[in-house]
Chains A and B, each alone.
Chain A
Amino acid sequence: MPERRVTVASRVGLHARPAALFVRAAGRAGVAVTIAKIGAAPTDARSLLAVMALDVRHGDEVVLAAEGAGAGAALDELAGLLATDLDAAPSGAGDA
């Protein structure tokens, strides 16, 4: 099963805003995606409750996994999302 490891860049970890952005993207991926902390059981990346309950902090490494057609591309996109500081305000100061 294709996997990606990524270090979470969101300044305050996967709290409400970044978690919601990630879950929305996972839901649009078209394949079932799981997210797990290293060494822990995977959980459904499309459930906001499950992702928030994981309590992923800034700097935590997580494993994303998916299977089926398009899994690789979906994982690349989701890993890219987590590697971005999703806390950076889109319309605020600083670079996009």
Chain B
Amino acid sequence: MKLLACPVNGLRNIDEFQSFGPLRETPDPEKTSDAEWGQHLFRADNRKGIIVEWWRHVPSNVFFLAERDTESNEVVRTFLPAETGERP
């Protein structure tokens, strides 16, 4: 079983976590065409390489980000969203 490092709770078994999908930018709803909005809702990148994903440590409800290599499944690092800078 894979391990994942929660930035708050440390290294835990992956079955304590829930994936919330890749981090992606939400387009401005006011400036987006219906077609683009549909794309945003139903299509997702499936890239090879390092992507940033949302994860939740379920027992403690900590949401955090993880950089993961989709080829090797190696998690490069995990961090809290606050570490990415100012709030939007």
A and B from one complex: no
Q: Measuring CB to CB, which residues of chain B are less than 8 angstroms from any residue of chain A? A: none
Q: Measuring CB to CB, which residues of chain A are less than 8 angstroms from any residue of chain B? A: none
